[in-house]
Amino acid sequence: MADSATYPQAPPLTEDELTDFLRSADVARLATHNEDGSIHLAPAYYVYELPDILIGTQTTSRKARNVARDPRVSVLFDVVGAEPIGALVYGTAELDRHDVLAKRATIFRRYMADDAADQFARSLADSWDPVIIRVRPERIVSFDYRKGFPAGD
């Protein structure tokens, strides 16, 4: 096993790069803990409202049920390709039921026109009990392969 001091790791994103990246990544990949200890991993639309990550869902979804039982989560944001960049967020989550329709519409506006986002949020709320998973980051590990690797020993 490689020593962490000598393991080649791509450089991290700067604080400004990280903020920009978390605001612009296409999707979040939310990892929660299933009741049996296994991991549930799901892609999700999101919005980054410093310092929190907001993910919309329904109260009956596995991710919402998992967060209600165990608030420990991880969220991966990445862009793959020849020079991948990404960030892995470790944190705690809570179910936020305050002003859910407006928050879901805000999330959807990242992906569609304003009118369509509002209508989509309303149509989901007409069929399901909506909730926001609010992730509070505690630790973030980022990588930027565009910057190369540090020179080896």
CATH number for the domain spanning 112: value is 2.30.110.10
CA separation for the pair 86, 101 (Å, rounded): 29
Q: Which of 17, 150, 21 lies closest to 75 in space, CA to CA?
A: 21
Q: How many domains does the chain have?
A: 1
Q: Range of 118's domain?
A: 15-144
2 falls within a domain: no
**pLDDT < 50 stretches in the chain:** 1-4, 153
Enter the pTM of the model.
0.90
149 falls within a domain: no
pLDDT of residue 81: 80
What are the tokens at 55? Answer: 């993910």
1 falls within a domain: no
152 falls within a domain: no
pLDDT of residue 10: 86
128 falls within a domain: yes
